[in-house]
Amino acid sequence: MTLEVTTITTQGDLDALADAWRGLLGRTDNDLPFLLPEWASSWWRCFRQDAPLIRDSLRVKVVRDEAGALLGILPLMLTERPPFGPVRARTLNFLGADRYVTELRAPIVDPERQGEVARAVAAHLQGDRTWDWVAWHGLDRESEFARELHRAMPLQWGAAETASVLPLPPTWDLFRAGLKRNIKESLRRCTNSLKRDGLTARLVVAERPADVDRALDTFLTLHAMRAREADAPLHPDRFAAENPRRFLRQVCERLSARGEACVLSLMVDDRVVAARVAFQLPRCLYLYYSGYDPAWGKYSVATTLVAEAIKLAISRGLPRLHLSMGQDVSKSRWGPETSLRHEAISVSPRGASRAAHWLYAQSKDSAVLERTVGHLLPRRRHD
């Protein structure tokens, strides 16, 4: 069966695809908020660039079968950079190329048709002379999609991101019984330290759009306070700039209207001491960025907040909780299941494209660009 690949180039057409997009995601058992259509659409509104140094244009690839059924979406944009020597660099990159706000980007593919979709996408891209290289993200190297894509347009593999996911049993007691001794002891200390000082912690969940917007004010304050904490691991303020804050409010407003975004606040008596943005998908609660008041750090309020989030997910019958992308002790201590999503590039075989990619990779100007407009550029190892 021949598959058709078309290209979306306007915001209106991108928004019109949302219902079918969600239907496709439902067949993939998605546990990432970053793959939702509202995330892609809001990101494009907030972060797209149209300036002398860098210019973006929509190039979302849509794959359908002969009956019109949606089988794949590649949320791509074409980014044109200044000339390096005699050539201008043109990269197909995924929407969400902001480094930190979007934790993972990936193709969205019907799991039963991966090979066909990969071959159709590769043939379509190979017939397109408007790009010099494709920066791929979120690939499972063992998947049929990645294998077929590599056969058709060889991939240069790059770095990988780790997903840390907790399978959840029916009750908190069962979950707690399966934890390692160190985290059990940590949870006990968290509870007892508050009790000794006559304090009580409780979880407050903001879910309605107006409540979420108000709770985001507190989250942003606590996130910035955590970033300024002295003598602690580095946690930069990812929402210090206006664009990321505007995006966060916009995407949370749209997703909370669907019951998919919330702010989890840990209150001690009448004071919010820690907060975390979370996204509830059909079968997973995704824990996004957090913040806390360093004055309450001695009570390990961030750990208590994660425990309360796990209890919330269990109470709602969700089978998984995603601790967010990346691998560190704050995630591994919970004993999650891990998986890798890989980055790769495909360079066009055209001589001018190979030259553009080589010059971009070698040029000192690329480092300058990363410092000045790095939130819109792929990481250098992608390029």
Secondary structure of residue 170 in the 3-state scheme: coil
- Are 20 and 126 within one domain? yes
User: Distance between CA atoms of 235 and 333, rounded to whole angstroms?
Assistant: 18
43 and 87 in a single domain? The answer is yes
CA distances (Å), origin 188, targets 156, 227, 307, 325: 47, 26, 11, 27
pLDDT tens, position by position, 273-303: 999 999 999 999 999 999 999 999 999 999 9
* Domain assignment present for 325: no
306 and 179 housed in the same domain: yes
Q: Both 234 and 188 in a single domain?
A: yes
Which burial class, exposed, middle or buried, applies to 292 when counting CB atoms under 10 A from its CB (0-12, 13-18, 19+)? buried
195 with 305, same domain: the answer is: yes
Do residue 153 and residue 244 come from a single domain? Answer: no
How many domains is the chain built from? 2
Residues 19 and 114 in one domain: yes
Q: Do 194 and 142 share a structural domain?
A: no
State the residue range of the domain holding 182: 169-318
**Average pLDDT of the residues in 176-198:** 94
- Is the pLDDT confidence value at 147 over 50? yes
Query: Which CATH number belongs to the domain containing residue 224 in this structure?
Result: 3.40.630.30
Residue 336: inside a domain = no
Same domain assignment for residues 159 and 176: no
- Mark whether 126 and 188 lie in a shared domain: no
More confident residue, 375 or 217: 217
Please report whether residue 175 resides in a domain: yes
364, two tokens: 């000192």
Of the candidates 270, 266, 241, 239, which has an alpha carbon nearest to the alpha carbon of residue 252? 239
Looking at the domain assignment, is residue 27 inside a domain?
Answer: yes
Please determine, for residue 84, whether its predicted confidence score (pLDDT) is greater than 80.
no
Closest CA to 105 of 71, 149, 74: 74
Q: Decide if pLDDT at 127 tops 90.
A: yes
- Whether 364 shows a pLDDT value over 90: the answer reads no
Residues 129 and 350 sit within 8 Å (Cβ to Cβ): yes
The predicted-structure confidence for 295-339, as pLDDT tens digits, reads as follows 999 999 999 999 999 999 999 999 999 999 988 899 999 999 999
Shared domain check, 223 and 273: yes
Angle at 237 between CA 236 and CA 243, to 5 degrees: 135
Question: Half-sphere exposure (CA, 13 Å, Cβ side) for 153?
Answer: 25
Establish if 279 belongs to a structural domain: yes
